[in-house]
Amino acid sequence: MNTLITVKPLLAILAALCLPPILASSRSPNAREAWTFGAALTMFGVIASMLPAVWGGARLEYTLVQVLPTVSIAFRVDALGLLFALVSSSLWIVTSLYSVGYMRGLKEHAQTRFFSFFAFSLAATVGVAFSANLLTLYLFYEMLSFATYPLVTHHQDREARASGRKYLLYILGGSIGLVLPAMLIVYHLTGTLEFSAGGILAGKAGAAQLTALLVMFVFGFAKAAVMPFHSWLPAAMVAPTPVSALLHAVAVVKVGVFSVVRVVTGIFGTGLLTELNLGTLVATIASVTIVAASLIALSQDGLKRRLAFSTIGQLSYIVLGAALLSPSALTGAMLHIAMHAFGKITLFFCAGAIFVATGKKFISEMKGIGWRMPLTMSAFFIGALSVIGLPPCGGFISKWHLVIGALEADRIVFLWVILVSSILNAAYFLPIVYQAFFCSPEEALFERRVQEAPRWCVVPPLVTAAASVALFFYPQPFLQLARLATRHVLGGF
Amino acid sequence: MKRFALLAVLLFGALLVYGTTDFPDWGDPSSPAATHVSPHYIRHSLEETAVPNIVTAVLADYRGYDTMFETSVIFTAGLACFFLLRVFARKAPDSRLYRHRATGITLRIEQGGRLPEGAREFERIDSQWVPYDLIIRTACRLVLPFIQLFALYVVAHGHHSPGGGFQGGVIFGAAVILYAISHDLRSTLQMLPERRTVLMSAGGVLIYAGTGLICLLLGAQFLDYAALAGILGVDPIMARSHGIFIVEIGVAIAVMAVMVSLYYNLASVGRFDEGL
Amino acid sequence: MSAHFPALIVVSPLMAAMVVAILAWVRPGACLPLAVVTLAGSLWAAAGMLWRVVVSGPFAYHLGNWPPPIGIAYQIDHLNALVLTAMAAVALVNLLATWRHARRDFAERVNYFYALYLLFCAGTYGIIVTGDAFNLFVLLEITSISGYALVGMGKRDAALASLNYIFMGTIGASFYLLGVGYLYLVTGTLNMADLAMILPRLYGNKVVTAAFIIAMTGLFMKMALFPLHGWLPNAYSESSSPVRSLIAPLTTKTMVYVMVRVALYVFPVDFSFGHLAFAQPAVWLAVTSIVAASLMALSQTSLKRMLAYVLIAEVGYMVGGFWLGNRMGMTGAILHIVNDAAMTLCAFLAVGSLRQQLADDSFKALRGAFRRMPWTMAVLVVAGLSMIGVPPTCGFFSKWYLIGGALAAGQWAFVGALIFSSLINAVLFFRIFEIGFFEPFAASDHGHPPDLAYAEAPATVIAPMLVTAAGLVVLGLLTGRIVTRIIDAAIPAAIL
Amino acid sequence: MTAAGYINLIIAKYNYWIYIVLMCVGLWGMIVKRNLVKKIIGMNILQTAIILFYVSIATKKGAALPILAHHIGAHRTDPATIINPLPHVLMLTAIVVSVATLGVALALTINIYKRYGTLEEDEIHDLMRNA
């Protein structure tokens, strides 16, 4: 494997990081949105331009500053990081479109602040994706925590304050209380924080200590929303929908699971975990979360809350996949980062579109809405299929790999977990779609007159829904990256 | 509180007693303090600085840098009192008291009024005024010149006998304060206005530090009086002696001015109208 | 001229103070420019010395050309050059940021404020560069007396707070003086380097042990380590804002520096850390200090008092880190002297600005502060993040070393205390941010919050604050260089 | 140690015992007294005790003042016959410091009296609580 030194990862981050000052100095809304698109496209362009090199098996590195004598703030673009960055940056473009429609449609206040912190969050997300070591990852992880706070609490009312509190309590409590000491212990044991394929902890500590460390990391990265550190996510749904869509279905939560995957593969190493049988521990925690979250989702009436619990469950698929430690499971986990992202963001976009058009938030108020908003609800249907994991949607591919992975690892229990939860997924999503389209005219709460949300709220979910379908037929870009990453993680170059 | 204090004090005392058991005996000429650095001063100060008073030599030369800051501490205290107490927005007193010199009859003029300037037969007095004791007043006037002369002697003769800038400055300051006590603040202020005390106190320290700075500008280390030899036209060792004298004068001026300024501020509570 | 920097850096603010006192009567307008130019010159000299130390190693300056231990010597090494540069920068930035406030708070006496300010700085710089144990006491008193005066001229109960400060400060300084006297008694010298040479012969001597304990107790009192912190909250909260943001970063940090200097370079390392069983109790004291101060900070209702308690906790960080006795912890402590000075300055400047514009700094007055004073609040956010310990601000990196050192030393209580204090700081600061961000609430949910008048401070106040805030991040990113080039050389090789 | 030993110890260092007593008295006054001026007096006693301590170091039994006659050659001066000048120099500084501290403390006391009309700490605290 050859290593290229290039400033591109930094450029990708700077593309978003430079945006807030520009926004702060521009007064007109049109200019503001134009700059946002510009930044999103630039970022995507820079990230996409790294694809060929990574496909070719190269690794791109850049050291920004030697911040501690043995640890630097450094970037390394490998297949896994690029996969995540690609998903986030491509969806940022779509979300920017959507945000314009949503924020204008609802005449929200403080839009400059909104777009600025949105850019900050994306910069941090890509930073996490490209981190070469745990310190850099932690840096961007914390940056993301603080950048999303003003977005979660955008409405500045009492409910937002309560949610913001909960959000910070979990996220900061986890990162300062658990991840920071765990990271320092790792540094103390090994003298380095560099992610490396075989892990760095092998032979440095006893089994009990390693177990404690692993637990600290898995729960400490509270953005991964592994139960019982999950309840910030439903609370964070008070945010404007674009935030929920991109951050709480893609960027923030995936940063959590991405960090867990990175730590599991790069710090502990799959070999060490297999040896100590620690994978099973994490997989069990993840399984509990998957099933419990799906069950809770069934009982939620708020659409966004149901989506949130669904997200909690889906995130743990990724953790589960990583914890199974078999090649297909790892590939599936990484693919699921992408596939779930496209599916779930579609669902959130739809939820937001419904809110903009009708002001409805609860599922029980949405009977017959399919007649009024057919495009939106069609997109919703496709998104739901993808999240459940049914063809012809991308979600099927990742779940397929996970199932195969469970078989490879010879863990039939977890195969059942995946299957049961898929059924539960179907049980909490499909009724929504069914009621939207197939309820009797008497029951319907809406007139049979097409009245969609503003254009910029409708196009994005259609785009992402189409993308979900397309990913079923052409999963190549992500699949190849995921396979590369798996090979790298398992040490076979 | 008392119990806690007792405990703290006893603990502290016990610590001191513990340390003291290992002290060299009192007055022991072979103790480390008497044998390490100080013999150098005793043996060499005369040949190195041409000052017979070893304390003066150490104070103003070997550890002259300390002494510069010591003078600055005094200056700081003066400035601090001024800063804390001085009342700037002076409002005119509600009433003024005037005493007819010949008869002792006292007039009280209300609402800020005052007697015309030419009324020489009246003098303004403090509200707490008591008839001056002629003996005290006269005696003070008589001894004041001698006190001041002695102060100058103490400054000047610091090289050869106990004394120096601090002692002389304090005595001089005491003379001014004695005048203020025996007469009143108003007449003292006419002799030595507040502005002059501040300028003198700062100027005194500046003389000290400036001497050091001149040494530095002449290419030597800060406060290396030997560098002044060229300017003073003497050999480097005498230059040290003269240098010490110059800074002692600076110290004396600063200390005197600060003493007086402290008295002004404390006695009049910063109002500069009526004192003790 | 640069060879004379060690003397000039102390003498020039001193002489400038005298000149300012004279100019105040002659030409009042010239006082502020003179003060600023002098402090800028000091910073330049400090940076020059730091550069020289890094390039060509430590050097000494013999005042009056008397070789130590006969005369007084200044010893410039990596440790004090670093601290000196930080303090000089803090003093300059603070004056630039707060002279407007000073004009308002002190009215006619503002020129004497500048003179005292310069004296305070001269004393602080002197404490840092001096190599003579007694000279340190004299300089300490210059700093203290000017500090008492500055604090005493504050609002409301300032005089009482300042008098208590005098009592505690005098006891602390007297203890230090007594400790120095004890050492003089058994060694016959006052020069720090000379003391360090002689003391190894005197390990069993009870006088040395007593000297160490007495001097350390005095220093603990001066640096406001719990439970000797009583003077600090009142002194800091009652003084006026330009004074607060000068004294808060400089005083306690300088005293921590003195502790480091005394324990490493006056007493031999194996005495401080090996012979005496002092390190473990000191760490426990630090743990108690951190936990207690953090809890007390929670119960405060005004920003400056809250910060005062946070400051006491930070003192615990440094004391604890230092007495861990290993290289990493000590690096953290020294780094934190610099970082804490910077972040304390940053926080108190923001508080000063808030107080000037909103005329009150109780939590209630902060309602809507983010909309009324966005820049000031942004600075406060950066300072807060640094105190919480969020990368890439400098607070994270000193905490990194401190926790790392504690892990290496197996001091789990200290690890716990640091994490606990970080979390408490997060609560403290976000409580404030919440008030500033959410309140006053809109009339209805999801409505637009009410409009508030924009009340940001003038640009001359904001610019230095922004520089400080940026400095926190730059300091954080430079941690690697500071540690490898400066702090590694500052810690004796005997510390592993 | 025998009783005679203790007595010898006490006699040999008696100046030092006195400074310890003075120091404790000063500290006690500063902590316990509730009147601010008394506290200031305690502070001065504390500082004076240290001066006594330093000056005691300087003493040598039977030695003369550290002022030389001009005609005495330097090489003929025996350090044992002249008391140690250094502590005296240091204490000149310490005296100045204590005077300076006293000045500032008194200035503050005046300001406190102006504000509260009393110098009793308890009464001041009552006033502050009621305000």
Phi–psi pair at C60, nearest 5 degrees = -120, 160
Which of D:46-105 have CB within 8 Å of C? 46-47, 50, 53-54, 57, 86-87, 90, 93-94, 97, 100-101, 104-105
* C60 touches D: beta carbon within 8 Å: no
Asked whether residue B272 carries a pLDDT value surpassing 80, the answer given is no
Cross-chain residue pair B162–D31, CB shorter than 8 Å:
no
Look at residues C83, C217, C190 and name the one whose alpha carbon lies nearest to residue C131: C190
Chain D interface mutation, best of B18, B53, B54, highest count of D Cβ atoms under 10 Å: B54
Asked whether the beta carbons of A379 and A349 are under 8 A apart, the reply is: yes
SS3 assignment, position B203: helix
Of C148, C171, C177, the CB nearest to D104: C148
Name the residue among A274, A314, A453, A459 with its Cα closest to residue A379: A459
Read off the tokens for C361.
Answer: 């700094």
Query: Which token pair is B10?
Result: 């006893």
Cross-chain Cβ contact D23/B13 below 8 Å: yes
CB contact under 8 A, D67 and B53: yes
Backbone φ, ψ for residue C452 (5° rounding): -125, 150
Summarised one tens digit per residue, pLDDT across range C293-334 is 999 999 988 888 899 999 999 999 999 999 998 899 999 999
Touch A-D: 3+ C-beta pairs under 8 A: no
Q: Which chains touch B (3 or more CB pairs under 8 A)?
A: C, D
Q: Number of structural domains, chain A?
A: 1
Which residues from chain D sit within 8 angstroms of residue B160, using beta carbons?
Answer: 67
Beta-carbon separation of B86 and C109 below 8 A: yes
Where helices occur in C359-477 by DSSP H, the ranges are 369-372, 374-388, 394-409, 412-438, 459-477
Q: What is the DSSP letter of D65?
A: P
Quote the CA–CA distance of C231 and A454 in Å, as a whole number.
63
Which residues 164-223 in chain B show a CB within 8 A of chain C? Answer: 195, 198-199, 201-203, 205-206, 209-210, 212-213, 216, 220-223
Q: Which domains does chain D carry? A: 3-63+79-130 (1.10.287.3510)
Whole-number average pLDDT of chain B? 86
CA distance C358 to chain A (A): 21
pLDDT for A225: 85
Q: Flag if B22 and C206 touch (Cβ within 8 Å).
A: yes
**pLDDT tens readout for residues D71-105:** 555 555 777 888 888 999 999 899 999 999 999 99
Identify whether the C-beta of residue C78 lies closer than 8 Å to the C-beta of residue C331: no
Domain of A393 in residue numbering reads as: 2-491
Q: What is the pLDDT of residues B51-84, one digit of tens each?
A: 888 888 888 888 989 999 999 999 999 999 999 9
Strand order in the sheet with A3-5: A3-5, A59-65, A73-77
Is residue A113 a contact partner of residue A150, using CB atoms and an 8 Å limit?
yes
- CB atoms C445 and A72 under 8 Å: no
The overall average pLDDT reported for chain D is: 86
Work out the angle between the directed axes of helices C133-152 and D86-116 (0-180°, nearest 10). 10
Pinpoint the alpha helices (H) of A263-326: 270-276, 278-298, 303-324
- Packed helices C78-106 and C241-261: angle between N→C axes, nearest 10 degrees: 160
Which residue type occupies C165? Y
Element (H, E) at B96: strand B95-100
Intervals of chain A under pLDDT 50: 492-493
Name residue, tokens 């000037």. C356
Q: pLDDT for B16-42, tens place per residue?
A: 888 888 888 887 888 888 888 888 888
Predicted confidence at residue C177, as pLDDT, reads 94
| Rounded Cα distance, B205 and B71, in Å | 6
Residue of C135, C171, C175 to mutate, testing the D interface (most D Cβ within 10 Å of its Cβ) = C171
Q: Are B47 and D71 in contact (CB under 8 A)?
A: no
Chain C residue closest in CA terms to B209: C15
List of chain C residues whose C-beta atoms are within 8 Å of the C-beta of residue D109? 163
- Contact present, C and B (at least 3 Cβ pairs less than 8 Å): yes
Number of C-beta neighbours around residue A405 at 10 A: 27
- C70 and B37 within 8 Å at the Cβ level: the answer is yes
CA B78, CA C400: separation in Å to the nearest integer?
Answer: 46
* Residue in C116, C189, C211 closest to B83 by CB: C116
Strands A3-5 and A59-65: parallel
d(CA C438, CA C441): 6
ipTM entry: 0.88
Of C390, C400, C423, the CB nearest to A177: C423
CA distance readout (Å), C485 to A158, A192, C79, C80: 50, 20, 11, 14
Minimum-distance CB partner of B63 among D69, D84, D89: D89
| Rounded Cα gap, residues B241 and B56, in angstroms | 10
The model's pTM is 0.91
CA distances from B134 to B86, B126, B184, C449 (A): 32, 17, 14, 79
Chain A residues in contact with C437 (beta carbon < 8 A): 150, 153, 156
b/e map of B172-201 (b: 16 or more CB within 10 Å)?
bbbbbbbbbbbbbbbebbeebebebbbbbb
Q: Nearest-CA distance from D70 to chain C in Å?
A: 22
Percent of chain D with pLDDT over 70: 94
Beta carbons within 8 Å of C218's beta carbon, 6+ residues apart:
C171, C172, C173, C174, C175, C176, C177, C178, C179
Residues of chain C with pLDDT under 50: none
Give the minimum alpha-carbon distance from C115 to chain B in angstroms, rounded to a whole number.
8
Interface test with B, best of C59, C63, C103 (most B CBs within 10 A): C63
Q: Between D36, D46, D57, which is nearest C163 by CB?
A: D36
Closest to D22 (Cα-Cα) out of D58, D50, D3, D2: D50
On chain C, the residues whose CB falls within 8 A of the CB of B34 are 188
State the Cα–Cα distance between residues A404 and A419, nearest whole angstrom. Answer: 12
C-alpha to C-alpha distance for B181 and B171, rounded to whole angstroms: 15
Question: Which chain A residues touch C483 with a CB distance below 8 Å?
Answer: 68-69
Answer whether C174 touches D (CB < 8 Å): yes
Q: Which of B59, B76, B265 sits opposite D100 (nearest CB)?
A: B76
| Conformation bin of residue D33: beta by default, left when phi > 0, alpha when psi is -120 to 50 | beta
Contact A139 C392 (CB under 8 A): yes
In the block, tokens 């804390």 appear at: B84
The Cα–Cα gap between B269 and D12 comes to 48
Q: Please report, to the nearest 10 degrees, the dihedral formed by the alpha carbons of residues C220, D87, C143, C85 taken in order.
A: -80
Distances (CA, A) of A86 to A4, A77, A423, C349, D51: 19, 11, 30, 42, 75
Measured distance CA(D98)–CA(B125) in Å, rounded? 35
User: What are φ and ψ of residue C72, in 5° steps?
Assistant: -95, 135
- The three state secondary structure string of A353-416 is HHHHHHCCCEHHHCCCHHHHCHHHHHHHHHHHHHHHCCCCCHHHHHHHHHHHHHHHCCCHHHHH
Nearest to C152 among D39, D101, D111 (CB): D111
Rounded CA separation A215/B97 (Å): 87
**A touches which chains (3+ CB pairs under 8 A)?**
C
CA C327 to the chain's CA centroid: 22
